[in-house]
Structure 1
Amino acid sequence: MIESISLKNVASFDSTGIQIDNLKRVNFIYGSNGCGKTTISNFLLNPTDPKFQNCFATWKNGTELKTLVYNKEFRVRNFDKGKLEGVFTLGEATKEQKRIITEKNEQLKQFKIEGERIRISLTQQEEKLSFLETDFKEFAWTKIYKKYQSIFKDAFVGSMKSGDLFKTRLLLEFTNNKGKLKTIDELKEKASTIFVETPQNLNFISQINFDRIIEIEKDSIWKRIIVGKADVDIAKLIQRLNISDWVNQGRTYVQESNICPFCQQHTITDKFKNQLESFFDETYLMDIESLKILKQEYSSLIQTVINELNSTELTQKELKNSKLNLDKFASLLKTLISQNTTNNEYLNNKLKEPSRSVELISQKELLTQIFELISTANNEIKQHNDIVLDYSNQRNDLINAIWKYLIDEFKGEIEKFSTTKKGLEAGHNSIEAQLKNKLKDYSNLNSEIKELSKNVTSIQPTINEINRLLKSYGFNSFEIVPAEEDGFYKIQRENGEIAESTLSEGEITFITFLYFLQHAKGGSTEDNVNEERILVIDDPISSLDSNVLFVVSTLIKEILKEVKSDKGNIKQVILLTHNVYFHKEVSYEGLNRKGEKPQFWILRKNYKFSKIQHYNDQNPIQSSYELLWRDIKEWEKNSGITIQNTMRRILENFFSILGNKRDDYLIGKFQTQEEREICRSLLSWVNEGSHTFSDDLYIETPDGMIVKYLNVFKAIFKHTKNIGHYNMMMGISDEIETEQEVEIALAN
């Protein structure tokens, strides 16, 4: 059942919109055309339509029921296809079959009532749990966290963003914290030192490996005098003049031509070339190659070491608390770079003049000192990191001790919460199990009813019932017959002609409504014949004469009588209409006032937007004449939009139609010329305002003018000796007014 409806930002409903609360089993909404009734019914028909994104309906216990809506859309959906879908009912079931299904439906209804009762108990239990959790969360946050946040803030890291996080941490510590209890003074003292600045781990410095560098420096090849073969004829001359390197460099020129590179004469013979090649034999060439390889390896290794040491120096300078002796390290590195430059010169010279003996500067001592500096720094880093590790342990121990102190201080409150919560959860689980079993019973019984209904439902009883009602109320020229396609109807005349396209508006309206009523009693399939539903009926009497209007109201009242007593599968009816006479007929209860009282609303369109007023279980509409007087009484709620037209219609009804009195008669009842002019002004105003656009009226009619003319309106009834009628229609006690009071009213 729908409990409330909210509509905003759609059709004639503005951003404030309307709220229809306290909906009961039977609900009447009266409103003139264009004030938003169809918008309400269309929303209930298709609430997921994007245009209704700001509208919503609230269902009892959150359980939505099938909603059957009768409005203009119903006719379009069902009567513009050339055929009607069948409606299944229990019409052909035997009395015994109906009795069994009815009894089981009553049992199913009882299951639902019991299920709702259990669901309410479950909701109440959940609310108790939620209140308990919220109350304890507030306690933990305000009484514990707020009390100690200034001194133990670091202990609350990870649980300070919300009360839920803090409460969760507190309960977790209560369950798991087995630490030793310490005094508050001990905790404060440790917190003042440990919760200051957290030391960070330092990375170890990469150590260097220089063994291969030392090996290359010690290689004997650097001191060895590398010369050619001694037993060659020219060897003695080369050795005596010590020109081996010079000859070796000039040898390439000799190979290219026979011209002597020294005297530029053609004196170079093949024999001389062969002696040069023999002097610089394979052994010589291998030594030269070894020189090149060792030099390249040495240069690469020492440069790599220097690059690593440069990087180390830059990295350590950026640290606040580097453990490396940076001054000494920088000095050693500078010396290393300098000595390497010198060694490079030696190596280049040796390669250029292999016969020269060179001795490289040993880097061993220098590299060893650097190695020891790094080793010393790494030892200090290890000690520092050990301290950091111990600090973390001490900090964790302190945090653990703080939480232990908190749960001990508030042990009573925490234990009370835990015990209460455990009991509520046990109750919740028990109720949840009951609900699960009841839902299972409901589902099993519902399946059984559907199975029974399949054997006794058909669409033929719907045909028979609609045709019976048509003939009963004088519609004899057509009837409903089965269509060629199974499960469908068609409208056919006596001669077999399809009648749908030739029906009058009144005939279509009446048969459409009869078809809707069959939907309300049955189902579109065999399975949903007994499905619970609500009905939304929007102006079902358009294009009907008064006799058929009475029939429709009678048919609806039969449904309403069942709904108010909570009988059958229709659980709620929302009826919307603009016809005062139909509203009176369909809402009239007479002496049969059993069941829940209906609710009443009036929907009005003030200027551009619609508003709604609730009248509880008091029917606000007795007649169209009384409705006019209601507009006078409630003019402020309508912003005075229709006040002029309303006054004119009341004066016409009471004085012209009922009393055959014209405007001159009314004006003549005022004694002075000034009063008569005021009355003439009123009559002119109401007649003019009733024939102009409401937009102009809204702009040009201030509240002060309305109040003034309302006083004159009252004075008319006073002077014509009809003040009793005025008081009765305005719902006020009879007044005996003096002429002076009337004059005051006119003056105002």
Structure 2
Amino acid sequence: MINNLKIASIASYDASGISISELKTVNFFYGANGCGKTTLSNFLAYPDSGVYEHCSISWEGGRVLKTLVYNKRFREQNFGSGEVAGVFTLGEATTEDIQHINNKKRQVSDLRGVQVTQQATIGAQQARLDDLKEVFTNDCWAVYKQYEGDLKEALRGSINTKPNFRDRVLAEKQSNGSQLLTLDMLVSKSETLLGEQPIRIDTIPLIPAYENLVTLESSAIWQQVIVGKTDVDIAGLISKLDISDWVNQGRNYIQESEDCPFCQQPTIGDVFRGQIEEYFDESYEQDKVRVTAHQMAYLSLTSAVLDTLDRIEASEASKIDSKLDVDAFSAHLRALHSQISENTLKIQGKLEKTSQQVELTSTAPDIEALTVLIRQANDLITPHNQLVANFNNEVTALKQSAWRFMVEQLTAKITAHEQRANGLQRGIDSISSQISTRSTEISSLDAEIVDLGRNVTSVQPAVDEINRLLRAYGFTNFSIVPSPNVENYYSIQRENGELALETLSEGEITFITFLYFVQLTKGGNDEGSVTDDRVLVIDDPISSLDSNILYVVSTIVKDLIRFSKDGGNNIKQLFLLTHNVYFHKEASFINSRSNGDSHTGFWILRKNQNITSVTAYGISNPIESSYELLWREIKDWQRNSGITLQNSMRRVVEHYFKILGKLEDPTLVDQFETFEEQQICRSLISWINDGSHTIPDDLYVQTPDDSAERYLAVFKKVFEYTNNIGHYEMMMGDAA
């Protein structure tokens, strides 16, 4: 049966629509013409039509039943031509045949009942599983949020929704065997790999042959005292005066003349010249050449070293992401420049005064510090370049490691979730397997029922039953006969043999189509569908009927209602829609009661501002009589937009005071004491008479809220001044 339904965005149902829940076995819907009843019945007949894309039906246990709908469309489709499809029923079946079929159907019903219970159990288990998943999903998301700032880019691709992230975590738990890295390592790699695609960085060149430079700086030659030959006569004087370097410089000024370059006296002779040359012998010159050679080597080495280091400094300082500690490098380089400049001056002094001892400052500490900085930078550049060379693979590995890290953070929660979820899923799978087994049993029983029904079904019993009812209710000038043209079809024929369909009155067509529908509820248009379970929808079956036939139809409908509530047959649910108060009252009055029971529900459809709404009344029948309905319209005037208020008030006054009380309008007016009150009463009578015969155009006239409130107060005073306030309070529900 249908548990719930929704109708929206069709005819007078707006986008919000209406939702009808807690439907019963028998459901009464009352509503005025044009309030949406036919739209509701057409939807139930053709729920898959494209025009109902915003409507929905919820079936109990998910089992969709055949729906038979009696409405205007049914009449047009089945009686639009001269031939009517036959109805197969079990009319010729023996008591034993019917009992055998009913036993099979009862077995099917029992099995389906168990399935419904099991489906409900699965639903409850699934709800628990869904709740468990939601909690776990939020746990996963909370961990993601914790590391979102650091790992968002690495995890990108499965974080567009919480469920997607949860599913990815569970999948990675099963398949991810990548290396588990620390968060710092992941962040570092992410900065390299997930920003702009990195490019290769050239390694920094090492300082060329700086070991030779250090060796030169520690050479013994800088401490060596280089002087002339000591066994020459003049050597004693030079040594005593410590003027070896001065004399050596003066040698370049000794000319062929005998004028001394030192004292400018004619004292230079061959002997003196000979002693000078002998003093500065070949050994002296060789030592001096060695000093010069050391100087040239030092200048060459330092030039190469400083040139290399200067270029490194300039290059790395221009890079935003240099791996070199440029500040420390520059500090050591400035110190090195200073040291080399100082050593160069010392060496130059040694050449000028070879007898002096000089000590060069060692550049080794700064050069070694610079070398360490270069190597440290290269240690960072090398793996960076390896990443560049294997970029795509490294990005993939990073993302895998990021997911591995997330799984590690959630390991305890994953284990707990899987244990509980797997237990619930095993229960669901077990029950589903049982449902599947029972479905096989049901299919087998259904096939047996179809075979049994096929052997005992016929269209003739339906013909006989329709004709019997026609004769019983006075329709004697036509009957249903088997079609002479098409097997298992009917024709409507006059007593003289003429076809009667085109000459039937509207009431006759309505009645005969309803009788045909009733037979169809007991059978089917083919042998295989006779025993199918079904839902019945009856929409205004008394349209165009005489009042005496109304009671006939209501009696037939009550039989269908009792048949539906019995539960041991193929009618599983019934919907009755009508606008006729009397028919509603008659059809709903069963077993000396007008209110429903646990199997019956009541609803009223209303249309306000061209929009349909629904009110549920549970098992309480809201339609007791037309008079009570008028009072209900007055009580609920705001819900009904006030359009029917004047008409309802007029009819109450006429029925209660004029027809029952024999009081005319002037008499009612005279009950008011003052002239002003009498004028107000006359105004009320004029107002309700005016509004009861016309319906204002909603496009131009707004709901008369102020007038309605004012005249409702006068309406009450009419009952008060005529000593009928007790009746007013009873009908309005205002009695204390």
Q: Considering the TM-score relative to the shorter chain, is it more than 0.5?
A: yes
In 1, distance between residues paired with 2:640 and 2:526?
Answer: 46
CA contact under 8 A between 2:155 and 2:402: conserved in structure 1?
A: no
Alignment of 1:216-231 (within 5 A): none
Task: Specify the alignment match of 1:617 in structure 2.
Answer: 619
Alignment-mate amino acid for residue 649 of structure 1: R
Once residues 161 and 32 of structure 2 are traced to their aligned partners in structure 1, the CA distance between those partners, rounded to angstroms, is 53
CA contact (8 A) 1:44 1:69 kept: yes
Cα distance in structure 1, aligned partners of 2:165 and 2:14: 44
Deviation at residue 607 of structure 1 after TM alignment = 4.3
One-letter amino acid of the structure 2 residue matched with residue 190 of structure 1: M
Tell me whether 1:24 sits opposite 2:19 in the alignment.
no
Deviation at 1:510, TM superposition (A): 1.6
> Residue 724 of structure 1 aligns with which residue?
726
- Contact 2:137/2:163 (8 A) holds in 1: yes
Which residue pairs with 2:173 in the alignment? Answer: 174
Q: In the alignment, which residue of structure 2 is the partner of 1:420? A: 420
Give a deviation string over 1:493-543, Cα, whole Å, max 9, x none.
333222223333332222111100000110111111011111111111123
| In 2: Cα distance, 1:725 partner to 1:18 partner | 35
Instruction: Give the structure 2 partner of residue 520 of structure 1.
Output: 521
The answer as to 2:574 corresponding to 1:579 is no
Q: CA deviation at 1:629?
A: 0.5
Greater displacement, 562-571 / 148-157: 148-157
What is the Cα deviation at residue 55 of structure 1? Answer: 3.2
Per the alignment, in what secondary structure is the counterpart of residue 520 of structure 2? helix
Give yes or no for contact 1:606–1:639 (8 Å, CA) kept in 2.
yes
The aligned counterpart of 1:606 is 608
Bigger Rg, structure 1 or 2: 2
Confirm or deny: 8 A CA contact 1:25 1:564 kept in the other structure: yes
Q: Distance in 1 between matches of 2:65 and 2:513?
A: 23
**1:212 aligns to what?**
none
**How many Å separate the matches in 1 of 2:180 and 2:387?**
25
- Equivalent residues of 1:453, 1:529 under 8 A apart: yes
Question: Distance in 2 between the 1:721 and 1:501 partners?
Answer: 58
Q: CA deviation at 1:457?
A: 0.6
Cα shift readout 1:611-653 (whole Å, capped 9, x = no counterpart) = 3222111111111111110011111101211111111111111
Q: What's 1:297 paired with?
A: none
2:99 maps to 1:99: yes
Distance of 1:613 and 1:165 partners within structure 2: 41
Residues 1:91 and 1:155: Cα distance change in structure 2 (over 3 Å): same
> How far did 1:51 drift?
3.8
Note if contact 1:4-1:22 (Cα within 8 Å) is conserved in structure 2: yes
* Aligned-CA RMSD value: 3.0
Is it true that 1:149 corresponds to 2:148 in the alignment? yes
Which ranges in structure 2 are unaligned for 5 or more consecutive residues?
A: 203-318, 322-380
SS of the counterpart of 1:574? Answer: strand
What's the CA shift for 1:382?
11
State the shift of 1:567 in Å: 2.8
How much has 1:731 moved relative to structure 2? 1.6
197 and 532 in structure 1: CA distance in 2 versus 1, 3 angstrom threshold? same
Letter in 2 for 1:529: V
Q: Does residue 433 of structure 1 match 2:433? A: yes
Correspondence for 1:360: none
Letter in 2 for 1:611: S
Identity of aligned residues (%): 46
- Which amino acid counterpart does residue 549 of structure 2 have in structure 1? V
CA contact (8 A) 1:190 1:398 kept: no
661, 666, 677: which one aligns with 2:679: 677
Q: Is the 8 A contact 1:70 1:540 kept in 2?
A: yes
Q: Deviations over 1:342-386 (max 9, x none)?
A: xxxxxxxxxxxxxxxxxxxxxxxxxxxxxxxxxxxxxxx999854
> Counterparts of 1:103-502 in structure 2 under 5 Å?
103-142=103-142, 144-153=143-152, 155-177=154-176, 187-191=182-186, 193-198=188-193, 200=198, 386=386, 388-389=388-389, 406-484=406-484, 485-502=486-503
Letter in 2 for 1:587: S
Contact 2:493 2:499 in 1 (8 A): yes
- The one of 692, 709, 712 equivalent to 1:710 is 712
Q: What is the distance in 1 between the residues matched to 2:186 and 2:492?
A: 91
In 2, Cα distance between the equivalents of 1:697 and 1:644? 19
TM-score (ref. length: structure 2): 0.70
The structural deviation recorded for 1:589 is 1.6
Q: Secondary structure at the match of 2:576?
A: strand
Gap change, CA 1:114 and 1:176, over 3 Å in 2? same
TM-aligned CA distance change 1:78 to 1:167, over 3 Å: closer
1:563 alignment partner in structure 2: 564
Q: 1:690 to 1:576 in 2, by over 3 A?
A: same
- Conserved 8 A contact 1:564-1:594: no
Using the alignment, how far apart are the partners of 2:479 and 2:524 within structure 1?
21
Aligned-pair distance for 1:679?
0.8
Corresponding residue number in structure 2 for 1:649: 651
Per-residue CA deviation, residues 654-673 of structure 1 (Å, 9 max, x unaligned), is 11111111111011011111
How big is the shift at 1:420?
A: 1.8
SS at match of 1:195: helix
Query: In the alignment, which of 692, 695, 700 is matched to residue 694 of structure 2?
Result: 692
Native 8 Å contact 1:565 1:595 kept in 2: no
Structure 1's 594 and 33: CA in aligned 2 closer, same or farther, altered over 3 A? closer
- Distance, in Å, in 2 between the alignment partners of 1:36 and 1:161 is 43
Inter-partner Cα distance in structure 1 for 2:400 and 2:15: 55
For the residue of structure 2 that corresponds to 1:716, the secondary structure is helix
- C-alpha displacement of 1:610: 3.0
Give, in angstroms, the shift of residue 563 of structure 1.
1.2
Deviation at 1:148, TM superposition (A): 2.1
- Structure 1 SS opposite 2:481: strand
CA distance in 1, matches of 2:125, 2:18: 33
CA–CA distance in 2 between the matches of 1:49 and 1:189? Answer: 60
Question: SS at the partner of 1:455?
Answer: helix
User: Alpha-carbon deviation of 1:30?
Assistant: 1.2
**What is the match of residue 273 of structure 1?**
none
Would you say 1:44 and 2:39 are equivalent positions? no
Structure 2 contact 598–619 (Cα < 8 Å) conserved: no
CA offset at residue 113 of structure 1? 1.4
Aligned mates of 2:9, 2:406 — CA distance in 1: 53
1:200–1:551 distance in 2 versus 1, CA, 3 Å: same
Whichever residue aligns with residue 168 of structure 1, its letter is: D
Alpha-carbon separation, structure 2, partners of 1:49 and 1:179: 53
Secondary structure of 1:535 counterpart: strand
Please report the TM-score for the alignment, with normalisation by the length of structure 1. Answer: 0.69
TM-superposed CA distance for 1:490, in Å, is 1.3
Equivalent in the alignment of 1:505: 506
Change (3 A) 1:546 1:147: same
Task: Report how far residue 716 of structure 1 moved.
Answer: 0.5
Change (3 A) 1:168 1:480: closer
Q: Distance in 2 between matches of 1:106 and 1:169?
A: 48
| Paired position in structure 2 for 1:632 | 634
2-structure distance, mates of 1:688, 1:134: 62
Distance 1:97 1:157, change over 3 A: same
Residues 69 and 535, structure 1, Cα contact 8 Å, conserved in 2 = yes
**What is the rounded CA distance, in whole Å, between the counterparts of 1:14 and 1:387 in structure 2?**
61
- Whether the 8 Å contact between 2:200 and 2:388 is mirrored in structure 1 is no
